[in-house]
């Protein structure tokens, strides 16, 4: 959904109510938990947030409040949406002078205890989304090494004619999101990025 003005709260609620009745737009639901399917572009961003249980707790709290989306030009609506499978969320973004509403549904949640603690979720695209595919957001704490990591894994391809035509630009936006989401998580835990952090994209 495109708009010249920022969508109102009422508009977003109506948008989500309509999209919540619809199915996901791709077949490989849950594939970010294993291996992304062929025929999609895969993006992987991984950054070390720091060490220890306190850093992991802050990172987990940031994921619960959708802090990885607080980038200024993009946000998740609403930030009060609980991290539960089946919940629907709108990704609200402003690019090239336009407001974009993209609908997603949470398809699974990760909440695993140690010795390698993992917390996060994946969401998949609904029909009114510029792309089609799935994205997983995860924080991990290895009790042995103490390291805490933030990890994004996504597979996607264009869904609408407009995004097919503007695909090179869409790829730049996706890569920008990975970088800035990692930076947002660094701010959320109050630490600095460590050596060994990386971001990549591959087909």
- Residue 165 confidence (pLDDT): 73
Nearest to 26 by CA among 156, 183, 184, 197: 156
Question: In the predicted model, what is the mean pLDDT of residues 142-149?
Answer: 96
Reported as a single tens digit per residue, the pLDDT across 163-196 is 667 778 889 999 999 999 999 999 999 844 443 4
Domain ranges of the chain: 2-202
- Which region holds residue 67: left if phi is over 0, alpha if psi is between -120 and 50, else beta? alpha
Reported as a single tens digit per residue, the pLDDT across 95-105 is 878 898 999 99
Beta partners for residue 90, in sequence order: 77, 103
Say how far apart CA 170 and CA 164 lie, in whole Å: 9
Cα Rg of the chain (Å, integer) = 16
CATH 2.40.50.140 fits 2-202, yes or no: no
Packed helices 167-189 and 53-64: angle between N→C axes, nearest 10 degrees: 130
Say how far apart CA 161 and CA 131 lie, in whole Å: 10
8 A C-beta contact, residue 80 and residue 64: no
SS (H, E, C) 141-166: EECCCCEEEEEEEEEEEECCHHHHHC
Reported as a single tens digit per residue, the pLDDT across 55-89 is 999 999 999 999 999 999 999 999 999 999 999 99
Reported as a single tens digit per residue, the pLDDT across 13-64 is 999 999 999 999 999 999 999 999 999 999 999 999 999 999 999 999 999 9
8 A C-beta contact, residue 31 and residue 109: no
**Mean pLDDT of the residues in the chain:** 91
Say how far apart CA 152 and CA 54 lie, in whole Å: 21
- Going by pLDDT thresholds of 50, 70 and 90, the confidence category of residue 199 is low
């Amino acid at each position: 959904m495109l708009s010249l003005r920022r969508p109102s709260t009422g508009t977003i609620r109506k948008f989500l109510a309509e999209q919540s009745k619809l199915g996901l737009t791709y077949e490989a639901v849950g594939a970010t938990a294993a291996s992304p399917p062929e025929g999609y572009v895969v993006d992987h961003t991984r950054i070390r947030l720091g060490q220890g249980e306190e850093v992991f707790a802050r990172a987990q709290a940031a994921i619960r409040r959708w802090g990885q989306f607080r980038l200024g030009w993009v946000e998740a609506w609403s930030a009060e949406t609980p991290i539960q499978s089946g919940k629907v969320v709108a990704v609200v973004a402003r690019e090239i002078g336009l407001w974009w509403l993209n609908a997603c549904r949470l398809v699974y949640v990760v909440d695993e205890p140690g010795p390698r603690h993992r917390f996060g979720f994946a969401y998949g695209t609904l029909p009114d989304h510029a792309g089609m595919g799935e994205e997983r957001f995860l924080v991990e704490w290895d009790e042995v090494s103490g390291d805490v990591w933030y990890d994004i894994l996504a597979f996607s391809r264009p869904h609408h004619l407009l995004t097919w035509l503007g695909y090179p630009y869409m790829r730049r936006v996706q890569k920008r999101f990975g970088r800035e989401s990692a930076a947002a998580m660094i701010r959320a835990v109050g630490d600095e990025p460590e050596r060994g952090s990386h971001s990549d994209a591959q087909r």
